[in-house]
């Protein structure tokens, strides 16, 4: 559960890495599907499938994206090519 409220303090930017995607990605990890809706194809990610979760920077939308394994690869390839 992520119900904790965090104050939006503007601290110094220590991480100056620039990811090759339009949106700033904080973390990416893969795991078993949790039934979340895929941000690319819109279908739910089943438990027997691999689920990729992409956490975006709070300065952007401040939310996470969920992808199937194949959808993540498609999205990532499009992101890097579309700049």
State the nearest-atom distance from the C-beta of 9 to Zn ion, in Å. Answer: 35
Q: Using CA atoms, how far apart are residues 2 and 68, in angstroms rounded to an integer?
A: 22
Tokens of 30: 């893969």
Q: Which of 36, 41, 50, 56 contacts Zn ion by CB under 5 A?
A: 41
Q: Kindly report each contact of residues 41-44 with a partner whose C-beta sits within 8 Å and lies 24 or more positions away, as own/partner.
A: 41/68, 41/71, 43/68
Size of the site for Zn ion (CB under 5 A): 5
Tokens of 35: 């039934």
Please identify, using beta-carbon distances, which residue of 25 and 40 lies nearer to Zn ion.
40
x-marked contacts with Zn ion along 51-80 as a string, rule CB under 5 A:
-----------------x--x---------
Q: Which residues of this chain interact with Zn ion, rule CB under 5 A?
A: 38, 40-41, 68, 71
């Amino acid at each position: 559960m992520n119900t904790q409220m965090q104050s939006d303090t503007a601290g110094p930017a220590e991480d100056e890495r620039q990811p090759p995607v339009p949106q700033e990605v904080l973390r990416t990890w893969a795991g078993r599907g949790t039934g979340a809706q895929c941000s690319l194809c819109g279908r739910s990610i089943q438990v027997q499938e691999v689920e990729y979760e992409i956490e975006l920077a709070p300065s952007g939308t401040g939310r996470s994206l969920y992808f199937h394994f194949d959808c993540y690869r498609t999205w990532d390839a499009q992101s890097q090519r579309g700049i």
